[in-house]
Amino acid sequence: MTTQYLFRTSLAMFAATAFAGMAMAQPSKNPAEQAVLLGQFGDWGAYKATPGGKKVCFALSKPTSATTEPAGRPRDPSYAFVSTRPAEKVKNEVSVIVGYPQKGGHEASAAIGNANYVLYTQNDGAWVKNAAEEAQMVTAMRKGATLVVKSESGRGTKTTDTYSLKGLGEALDKVAEECK
């Protein structure tokens, strides 16, 4: 298993509980591996964890609106993340958990104002396809009002998740401070 897979799995478990009013992930044998809320900034939280002894910091938000086509299709919660993993020399990696297995070979899309980005998908996750655009996307997110992510499930359900970007800049500043 890769560190990224373990991180995403831990992050998904944490995200599922974070917005249910809990500040920690599901209980772990090692409390240092649990994600800790560093601060809530508008619609974004800043968190720190140490899965496998490696420091990880991330900003996390849930959508302010979510629609499916056809309407009312059930799915797991979705979340947007901006992650930093110093041991892997990863800074400000944008990713989304969309809440369902995505259509094989399908690319998702992300829009911030007039800026559009292609996301590659795998299982229930999506990442910026062109790594060279990642810093540009984070800059757009810091300046923008909303992030709109569109994807399609393996069963053909189309989804649109809209995330408020209020507080993201402050959350990322806290992440940068904690994860050098």
pLDDT value at position 33?
A: 56
3-state secondary structure of 107: strand
pLDDT value at position 7?
A: 47
pLDDT value at position 14?
A: 45
d(CA 132, CA 18): 31
In a domain, 112, yes or no: yes
Pairing label, strands 115-122, 146-152 = unpaired
In a domain, 17, yes or no: no
pTM to 2 decimal places: 0.83
* Domains contained in the chain, number: 1
In a domain, 113, yes or no: yes
Please say whether the beta carbons of 38 and 141 come within 8 A.
no
User: What is the extent of the structural domain holding 160?
Assistant: 36-178
In a domain, 128, yes or no: yes
**44: CATH:** 2.60.40.1880
In a domain, 15, yes or no: no
Q: Which residues of the chain have pLDDT under 70?
A: 1-33
Core vs surface per residue 51-84: b (16+ CB within 10 A) or e: beeebbbbbbbbbeebebeeeeeeeebbbbbbbb
3-state secondary structure of 143: helix
Residue whose tokens read 């809990």: 22
In a domain, 23, yes or no: no
pLDDT value at position 2?
A: 45
Q: Write down the H helix ranges in the chain.
A: 3-18, 134-143, 168-178
In a domain, 22, yes or no: no
d(CA 18, CA 1): 25
DSSP letters for 158-174: EEEEEEE-TTHHHHHHH
In a domain, 110, yes or no: yes
DSSP state of 21: T
Which residues, other chains included, contact 55 with Cβ-Cβ below 8 Å and sequence gap of 6+?
A: 48, 49, 85, 86, 87, 179
